[in-house]
Structure 1
C-alpha cells in the first residue's frame, strides 16, 4: 500500500440513510475515521417534491436516530428544542410533520456532521487495494482521482426515478422528482392542461398542488387502476415496518418473502393517504356542483403515446375496457411513476469478481447489510436501500433508517475490533 491515509469507513451517497449512519458513528464510543461522498453540491432530500402543505407518511419518531437511541442529540425532538419550536409542535398535536419541516430537520442534522462529508463528488467506481494476495482496502474513485481509501465501504445511492418504457424526459415531460424545480419556469405562462400519470401518493399530491397553483388549469389524472387506493396504515399492518419484521423476513423462505411483499404492498406502493384522497374527491365533487370540472380522472387507462411539440405535448390515452382512444393536448406531462433501487454492483465493477451471488445471480447480503465476498477480501462492503428482496419492504423507507444505521455501525465496530486484535497478534 501507499502512504494514502486509510479511513475506517467511506460512504457513497449522503441522503437520509448515510446521514443516519454518520449520526450513529458520531455518537459511538471511540473515534472512527469516516468520510461520506455526495454528488450534490449540498444536502438535499427529495427537494423536487417539497410541496407546500404535504406531510410525512411516518411518525416524527421514525427520524434518523430516535429508534436507535431515544436520547440521541440527532433526534427530531432535539431539533425542535434547538429551533425553539418544541412547545409549539406539542401543541400542534400531530405525529407526522410537514415534509418541508422534516427536510429542514435533516438539513440541521447534516450540518452537525458537516466535517464528515465531502459534497460535489460523484463517485464513478471502486478499485481494490491488494496486499499479500488479499484485498485490504478499497479506493473510491471520482473519475481519475482517488476520493477516499477505506477499510469499509457503505453504498447508499438512493433511489432512481422510474419512467414507463420508451418515455424520455424533456422540456414538458418530467418525472415527479423534478416537479418543484421545473414548475417555476411555467408560472408566468400558467398551464391550461396538465397530465399526471400514476396512482400513488405523489400523483395525488401533485394533482392537488397543480389545481391550487394554476386555478384555471385542467388536471388529467391517468392510471391503470379503476380508482385511487387508500394506503393501509392500520397498526397491525404497519408491524411489517418493525425492526423484528426484518429478522422474520430475512430468515424466511423465498416464497414466504414474496407473499409478504405481495400482501403488504398496500402499505407503500401505488396507494394514497386517506386525507389526501378525501381532499381530491371533495374537490372533484364540488367542481361538479359548480359546473367547472377541473380534475379529470381517467381511470383504467394508459398512455399509448407522447408526441412533444413546440408548445405542447400530444397525449394519446387508451381506455382499457373498451380500447377507446382520447387525444389530449397538454402543456405538461408529469410521471409520478415511482423509483427503483440502483444495483450497487454498478459502482463496484472493480471488485465484481469478489462479490458472492446466489444461483439466480443476485448479490448475497448478510443480515448486517454486508455484502458477502470471497475469502481474500478483508474489507467490508455494506449496502443501504437496495435490500428489499432480502430485508423486506422497509428497506427504502424511513421506518428502519435509524435502527439499520445502528446495526451497520455495530457491525463496523465489531469488524474493527477483529482487525485490531489481528494486528496486535502480529497477523
Structure 2
C-alpha cells in the first residue's frame, strides 16, 4: 500500500521534492542573449590588426590621441577610502603601485588605457597565490574571446596565443576574485565587446592616410615645380635647340638653385617668360579636407584639435583652456570609470568598505580651478573651518566647528 500511495502522490504532483534553489538576481533578457552562444567563444566583430595598423601605427593624429589619453590617465594618482577614512597605505594601493615584476603601476595602466582606446576593450588578469591577489597583468584584446553563460554575462574568457588557449572561469573558484576584468567602451551594436574610437573615425582615418600617401607620391615624383620657363621664338617657335636647352639648364642649376641663391632675381633672355605654378583651388580643397579629417579623428577621441597642432581650430581661447577641457571631459571620466571597475573587482579580496578614487588635486592642468575654489571657500563667511575643509576634500579637525577668524569678520 505504501508503494501505491507513493505512486498516486507522484502522479498527482504531491511527491516529496527537493527544496528549490535560492533565487538569484538576474535579468530576464540574459538567457535570450545567451541562447545561441552559451558556452561558446564569441569572436570580436572586426580586425584588431587593421585598427592598430591603419589608425595607430600609420596615422600620426590617431597615434598622438591614444598616447595623450593613455599617458594622462596613467599619471593620475590613486586614493583609497574605507567609509569616510582615507588610507595612506594599504595592500590594495601597493598592488596598484607594483602590479608585477616587469611593470610599474603607471606603465601597466598606460598599456591598459592604450588597448581600451585602440580596440574599445581592455583586459586585466589577477594572479592569486595563497588566496590573495599578488599580481596584475594586461592581456592583449586581439587574443581574448568572451564565453557567455546562461545568464548572458561572461562565464569565462579564452586567451589564445601561439596555438594554445587558456580558459579563465569567472566564477571565482580559483581565487578571491574573478581572474579577468573586462573594460569596454560603449557599443550599442554588440552585447560583449566595446566600440573603438577608430571605428567611429574610420572614414576620416582613411582620408587622412590617403592624403599622406598622395603627398609621399608627389615628393617621390619630384613634387610640383615652383614655375616654368616658356620660350617663344621670333617666328612663334616654342622649341629650344639642344645647345640652348643645355646652357639654360646649367645656368639655372648653378646660379639659382640652393639655399645660397634663395631670392636671387632671374635674368631672362629674349623669348623667355616665367610662369609661376602654385596650388590650384582644387589642391587647396584637398589640403583642407586633410585638416578636416584630422579634426574628426581628434573629435572621436575627445582630444581638442588645438592640443594636436591642427590648423584652423579656434574653438578655445587658449591652450590652457583646451587642456583643461581635455582633462575634464576625456581623461578624468575615463579614470573614474576605471576606479569604479577596479573597486568592484578587487575590493572584495581585501574586505571592508573599500573605495578607490583618483587624486584630482595633483593634476597640474586643473590647478587654476583649485585655486579659484579655495579662494571662494576661504572668502565664505558662513562656513565653519570643517565645512571649508570638507568643501575642498579634507577631513575635519578637532575644534573646527566654528567660523574661522578670516571669514568671521
TM-score with structure 2 setting the length:
0.27
By relative contact order (CA 8 Å, sep 6+), the higher-ranking structure is: 1
Q: In proportion to residue count, which structure has more helix?
A: 2
Q: Which has the larger radius of gyration?
A: 2
Structure 1 length-normalised TM: 0.26
Larger strand share, 1 or 2: 1
